[in-house]
A and B are shown apart, each in its own frame.
Chain A
Amino acid sequence: VDPNQVAVLFSEWCQMCNHVSASDAAYTRFVTQLQQDGLLKGDDISERFFRILTELAVTHSLVSEQIVAPGGSSQQSPQQPHISYFSIDSYAKLVVMVLKYSVEITPNKASILSKILSVTVRSIQKDAEEKKASFNPRPYFRLFINWLYDLTTTDGHHDSSNFQVLTAFANAFHMLQPLRVPAWSFAWLELVSHRSFMPKLLMCNSQKGWPFFQRLLVALLKFMEPYLRNAELPEAMDLLYKGTMRVLLVLLHDFPEFLCDYHFSFCDVIPSSCIQMRNVILSAFPRNMRLPDPSTPNLKIDLLAEISIAPRIMSDVDGALKSKQLKTEVDEYLKRPEGSSFLSDLNQKLLLPQNEASVAGTRYNVPLINSLVFYVGIQAVQQLQLNKANPSASVQQINHISPMDIFQIGTATDIFRSLITSLDTEGRYLLLNAIANQLRYPNSHTHYYSFITLYLFSEATQEITQEQITRVLLERLIVNRPHPWGLLITFIELIKNPRYNFWSRSFTHCAPEIEKLFESVARSCG
């Protein structure tokens, strides 16, 4: 494939695109010729052909970047320079026409598209790696936008072919995630959240696109995680953070079930200090659900029908446990706790090796703690529902602490009780965070973890533990809204129910500012 010949072909194509009387027949003839020349077989020759076309299109679009200042000297404008997208639009159109008109040589058009996308991905990766800070993402952004407009549809008649196209793009975007091409990050997020991609992927083919989008969102959060550990963000990262928050708000409004189903995956990659972002995800609830106002006087949580229904969980809950060979030990302990030494050194197993801890910014394996807490709780809830004699009895069991309660769910609770006394302050904080991450909309998990939170408070042997439980709840409440429903009802129960004697704890009035803070939060909870 001679680059000069490709340049001639591309020039012919661009002239055709520019011609006012260009018709589909002319486009068809051109594409047919390409096919007859052996350029569309999907082999190495095709790849080289499309790679050269990509380079030509991008190079020509950036030729106009230099702006001539008065006096004739060329200088870089401090604002965004003008880019001509004619070559990019023409190349994008060629690909669309190839997909539309070429007779299948490869099994299906999605396969050809995937090949072209992988050529584009490699071009971007190479360009970014070579040019580094001077890499310009905008021509490639334009290329993708054109394709998203022209190759995807919201037409339900073509759901399965649309799904193949969208997942081909999702895979390409995954290859171009910020961790791999950081200079492409802004263009990446704008494409991934674009109305021609994100809603289509989430709406088509009975939610089969959800794992693909989850993977993209997790990739973004992984990139930001080290920087989000700090409250002060560099300007560029602050923009990316706010952009991510906008996207999460669109998801919260339009696709809350998506955030509900994958909440565990997202919380795993958000730093514990990034409270508002986590709250946005945990505040999601199914659109057909009406949440009772947590501040309703005499609200009877136990009578809500939803608390006996387990939420749908699509995340991989026990993956971290399995990778550390802990799952089998947990299962054995839950089955046969008597005489087990599982609890004696469990806290040690949650630590990271020192060299990894310095990179992670914490001494603990946070995903492992999250996985342990969630897995154990799910087992406890399942066990409760299996054992219940009748619905009302099990509801009473989960709400009121009684010897029967402890017998039914004591083994799971023992794990939490043991850890909360054996862990140090940092470990305890992370454990309580993992528990509080399950305080969401009304469902059996929220109900169980609310119970566990309050139970650990009332059973705590040291006030420092009660203070830490309070702190974990409070810091999630003092950030700007939204606040998850389960968090609110748990905190309200804690401060209202005389059983917990909350206001007599010394930490609630250890300083005037703290007293005012508690009063303010209590007022805002109604």
Chain B
Amino acid sequence: DLGAIGDNLTGTSASSGHDQLYNLQMLEAAFHKLPQPKDSERAKTYIPRHPAVTPASYPQVQPSIVSHPSFWERIGSDTLATDMLFFAFYYQQNTYQQYMAARELKKQSWRFHRRYNTWFQRHVEPQVTTDEYERGSYVYFDFHVTEDGSGWCQRIKNDFTFEYNFLE
């Protein structure tokens, strides 16, 4: 109720007991310690969980290009490219690469199922769609162990119910 909000009778701030001159001096000191852009950047450096010794002729550090969004945006949608995305997603967890791989997979209409930790893509339009789920044939990417061996592959699951509760 003083006309100038925040000031009290003696020209100081009622909240802090500081006067205008003091506030300006502190502001000017802070002017030389502004937050820098890198202060809000998260490290994108990849640290391998199980580092192995490789020949010196092999690259020993990740190429910087994999930290650039445009590398992931141009990766394409062929099988090799999609396999790369899955590799980054499953084997480079908690990195920028996993984040970008997930983003690109979503652009290619893959959807992550939080219960099965698996990516699904509609093979055909769902037979049933409700507010809670959809059901139909889906391509999914998973690790399979069979009599013939084991490995990652894409398979088709028919009559699968994808509950939206588990959609990431």
Contacts and interface: CB of A to CB of B under 8 A. Distances in A.
A–B touch (CB < 8 A): the answer is yes
A145 B40 CA distance: 6
Contacts of B32: 80
Contact of A359 (B7, B42, B47): B7
Interface string B96-133: 00000000000000000000000000000000000000
Interface string B12-31: 01011010101111111111
Interface stretch (B48-56, B73-81, B135-143, B148-156): B48-56
Interface residues of B, number: 39
Given A137-B35, A179-B13, A360 B26 contact: no
Contacts of A182: 16, 18, 22-24, 26-27, 30
Contacts of A362: 3-4
Contacts of A239: 31
Interface residues of A, number: 60
Interface of chain A, main secondary structure? helix
Interface string B35-69: 11001101000011111000000000000000000
B165 to A, nearest CB: 9
B70 interface: no
A223 B40 contact: no
Contact of A269 (B6, B16, B29): B6
Interface stretch (A51-59, A363-371, A373-381, A384-392): A363-371
Given A186-B34, A236-B31, A359-B10, A133 B5 contact: no
Given A141-B35, A225-B6, A365-B1, A185 B51 contact: no
A361 interface: yes
Contacts of A134: 29
B2 interface: yes
Contacts, number: 142
Given A183-B29, A236-B27, A359 B11 contact: yes
A194 B22 CA distance: 27
A360 B33 contact: no
B42 to A, nearest CB: 7
B47 A20 contact: yes
Contact of B24 (A21, A222, A236, A366): A236
A48 interface: no
A320 to B, nearest CB: 7
Interface string A116-159: 00000000000010001111111001100100010000000000
A352 interface: yes
A323 B1 CA distance: 8
Nearest to B18: A182
Contact of B5 (A85, A145, A269): A269
B55 to A, nearest CB: 21
18 contacts: A80-B36, A133-B25, A138-B36, A141-B40, A142-B40, A177-B15, A178-B23, A180-B15, A182-B23, A182-B24, A190-B40, A225-B4, A236-B24, A361-B4, A362-B3, A362-B4, A364-B3, A367-B1
In order of increasing CB-CB distance, the 10 nearest A-B pairs are A360-B3, A222-B6, A133-B29, A182-B26, A360-B4, A236-B31, A183-B26, A182-B23, A236-B28, A269-B5
Interface of B: 1-11, 13, 15-16, 18, 20, 22-36, 39-40, 42, 47-51
